[in-house]
Amino acid sequence: MQIYIDGEYYPEGDAKISVFDHGLLYGDGIFEGIRFYNGRVFRLEEHVRRLFVSAKALLLDIGMSPEGVADAVRATIRENGLTDGYVRLLVTRGVGSLGLSPFLCPRASMIIIADKIALYPEEKYSEGLKLVTCSTRRPPPAALSPSVKSLNYLNNVLAKVEAIQGGAEEGLMLNEQGFVAECTGDNIFVVRDGSVRTPPSSAGGLPGITRDVIFEIAGELGVDLRESELTRYDLFAADECFLTGTAAEVIAAVELDGRPIGDGKPGPVTERFVGRYREIVGVEGTEIG
């Protein structure tokens, strides 16, 4: 595997960053997870745009144009001879001193990893996931905006630990008001009486790119889809539930806190979204070249 670091490629064993990099020391940086299928990078422009918006929010100068970043992503995929897989694109504040000030880091650092990924076992895509509600809450937007895809993921990691220790594959995260925000790494949707609901980003979830695709698919399929505040009860009362994310794609959730969601199996509305999503990613995207 060849890993891109600041314009150069390094074998996996030689790919290193400084111990003084503020991404390592303080989680000061941003990232994107990007999928590519059949020689095409899915929603590359949207991912790069979100990266630059996150950078702007952190006063982080990436040091490249959006077009340059997109070209670097495609070149890294080509360098590794892949046609299907996953890209992890990171931008750190760069090397600085042992202090919080970002202004002591003269130059940002970019890392691009292109590899295969399997977030959940294949059988879970036919069986569905079990969820547990985590006691770890999502930070309020005034503390750390969920719209910034930062390297500071400790909140999500702690919730993931709870989920695994609770015997589930994913954890449901609430905000400080007790409303559903998202899962530890995925957006969440519920289906009831044929209508689909998902929490607004203001509830504490990331405005996901796969989430946006679901809104587009709902329009195609004529499915009523709206943003709405949700509680745990709304999941208990739902006919179906599914999660979305770049790595996870679209996957059913069939149990929450020991209670089956609907009949405890992936439902027909979920399966329509899964099927259409797989059709779209198979034909759309930016050519790797």
Single out the residue of 239, 230, 227, 259 nearest to residue 131, CA to CA: 259
Give the separation between CA 32 and CA 72, rounded to whole angstroms: 13
> What element of type H or E holds 270?
helix 268-283
Single out the residue of 185, 184, 170, 183 nearest to residue 131, CA to CA: 170
User: Residue 202, SS3?
Assistant: helix
Residue 86 makes CB contacts below 8 A (sequence gap 6+) with: 33, 34, 35, 36, 114, 115, 116, 117, 246, 247
Give the separation between CA 232 and CA 256, rounded to whole angstroms: 9
The single-letter DSSP state of residue 139 is P
| Neighbour count for residue 177 (Cβ, 10 Å) | 12
Whether 149 is a known active-site residue: answer yes
The single-letter DSSP state of residue 257 is T
Give the separation between CA 250 and CA 203, rounded to whole angstroms: 21
Alpha carbon 185 to its chain's center: 6
Catalytic residue among 124, 130, 149, 160: 149
| 30-66 b/e (C-beta count within 10 Å ≥ 16 → b) | bbbbbbbbeebbbbbeebbebbbebbeebebebebee
Give the residue numbers annotated as catalytic, written as ranges. 149
